Copies of this chain bind each other. A is one copy, B any other.
Amino acid sequence: MSRRFDDLSGPQVHERITTTSTIVLPIGAVEQHGPHLPMSVDHVIAEEVASAVVTAVGEELDLWLLPTLSISKSNEHAWAAGTIWLSADTLMGVLLDIGRAVATTRAERLVLLNGHGGNTTLLNTALREIRLATGLRTFLVHPSLPPAYGGTSTEDELGMGIHGGLNETSVFMHLRPDLVDLSKAARRVPEALAENRHVRFGGSVSFGWLSNDFHPDGYIGDPTGADPELGRRLFEGAVASICEAMAEIAAFDFGR
């Protein structure tokens, strides 16, 4: 049976959405990812992962899927015509509005499943704002946390395959092979950054960056060795990991 929240009728919301329900909002982006990937990468991945998770454990954990928010805050790519982005204010407004509306149901948990690293800090801020405004328990999940925000990257990329790099390209080759053109890919790793101890992706000092600060091509990593089989493993790993996380979310009570 459908686990899409909006396949419910209005009156069904009262029956089916209860205190055990968790509402899942996939969030993607429409933004340049270099010449080898389409602009749809982030929302495709967010939606595919979310669907797979809900298919796998939705019934068991009482998950409900909202339509994907395909456009979000991609202003690190504002320089690239075609990137369609919301301002920080607008995206925060969208999230607070959705939180306010979800809180009119009996559900007590809202998960943001985010495919776009550039949203991470704003979504993290939104978790608290929504919780304070509505009382909802709020969570942020990434298909795979980008290294810039504490995740991991391959050694060969010096930990900097954060936008259009090996992993993301591989996952997308698994999901939409026809939309990837590896012949256009090159190594775009800001090597010198790796020499820094503090001011580097995942270092103790964060820094503001635009995607063309490193190279005019605007992607960061080395997708040249991307491979759909690696992508499949990463995708399935992300899904499995999030399924596990969803079980913790469904039971989460702040350690009380």
Contacts and interface: CB of A to CB of B under 8 A. Distances in A.
A40 B121 contact: no
Interface string A210-242: 100111001000000000000000000000010
A131 B210 contact: yes
Contacts of A193: 254-255
Given A84-B101, A207-B138, A32 B10 contact: yes
Contact of A192 (B66, B71, B101, B255): B255
A242 to B, nearest CB: 8
Contact of A104 (B8, B81, B121, B205): B81
Contact of A214 (B37, B208, B256): B256
A177 interface: no
A83 B67 contact: no
A77 B122 CA distance: 19
Interface string A179-192: 10100100000111
Interface in A65-89: 66-71, 75-78, 80-89
Interface residues of A, number: 111
Nearest to A189: B255
Given A196-B248, A197-B248, A204 B141 contact: yes
B81 A89 contact: no
13 contacts: A8-B39, A9-B34, A9-B38, A30-B66, A69-B71, A88-B125, A120-B121, A127-B208, A137-B207, A138-B208, A199-B245, A199-B252, A204-B245
Given A9-B35, A121-B124, A137-B208, 5 more contacts: A75-B128, A84-B101, A86-B94, A140-B205, A198-B245
Interface of A: 2, 4-14, 17, 30-40, 43, 66-71, 75-78, 80-90, 92-94, 97-98, 101-102, 104-106, 118, 120-122, 124-132, 136-142, 145, 150, 179, 181, 184, 190-194, 196-199, 204-210, 213-215, 218, 241, 244-245, 248-249, 252-256
